[in-house]
Structure 1
């Protein structure tokens, strides 16, 4: 019985379930600024000001006035293969590149790179697929290029590490600016004020 008495004595006076947990300190999913939270504070403040003044979409439209004309999966595949042939000729083959209606922009996903193993009889067949959100059918070409480059880089680098971003910058020298601008577009999407409806 002494163990039970000690356990009661060590019981905290505060109900631990009423304390805030780490999940409650995370950025809420409905906060449009979640897409730029890892940037320096002064950048976040500039974005917030543009957002409050409802000028974010206008700034994107000034920088990127035209949308691309890649509408079909075949056109997207051909577009992607141009980058692969130029920069990643020695990487694993790419079997499929498609626009996917199931990818939701609100969950930080613009595209997905999948490595799929399929068994066909006694053979194991591995395929690489890139799936890009269908919402990206109507955006400026430089932003689509950034997403394609990002997903292609995953053919060689699975993690978002230094080597991954070096590869992205090799394929697109303006990669970091384009990624930032894509994040601004995601904020506009979250606010339902996209300049590219």
Structure 2
């Protein structure tokens, strides 16, 4: 039996279904059917990720504060088992305190399908308005990405498959 550490918050039924897929060596095939290998993406650089994030922000969250920096982090998956992180950085510039929003995304997402990258970026953008993972936060995520919850599960399945 495989440890399903990325699926701890899911129901026993979902966990049993995933365990059956793993036991029958079908999880990879199932994910490949949902996300064919050609469903990759061209967002491979920090500049491309910044542009990608800005387009999503402009489309869904125009009135939110600006995002000053977005980049891929090669160490992200190792630290805190996170695939994305938002930071609110305050810096003193002269006599003023400047506040900046920064987003970093795990470099692992360069190799995963674009919808999964979009889900993580949407999640981090939602933190511009909602700091906590509350009902309003998840409603905002679903507003920006209607399939948010399915994509989050699929990302967790990819992580489970990778071990």
TM-score range normalised by the length of the shorter chain: over 0.9
Equivalent residue, structure 1, for 2:23: 52
Matched residues, number: 160
Does residue 1:140 correspond to 2:113, yes or no?
yes
Q: Residues 1-20 of structure 1 correspond to what in structure 2 (within 5 A)?
A: none
Deviation at 1:157, TM superposition (A): 0.3
Query: Separation in 2 of the partners of 1:183 and 1:171?
Result: 20
Does residue 1:100 correspond to 2:73, yes or no?
yes
Does residue 1:157 correspond to 2:97, yes or no?
no
Q: 1:155 to 1:108 in 2, by over 3 A?
A: same
Deviation at 1:106, TM superposition (A): 7.6
Q: 1:34 to 1:137 in 2, by over 3 A?
A: same
Query: Separation in 1 of the partners of 2:115 and 2:127?
Result: 19
The alignment's C-alpha RMSD in Å is 1.3
Query: Separation in 2 of the partners of 1:82 and 1:74?
Result: 12
TM-score, normalised to structure 2, is 0.94
Compare CA radii of gyration and give the structure with the larger one.
1
Q: Residues 1-197 of structure 1 correspond to what in structure 2 (within 5 A)?
A: 32-65=3-36, 66-104=39-77, 107-190=80-163
Does 100-109 or 55-64 show the bigger shift?
100-109
Q: Which runs of 5+ in 2 are unaligned?
A: none
TM-score, normalised to structure 1, is 0.78
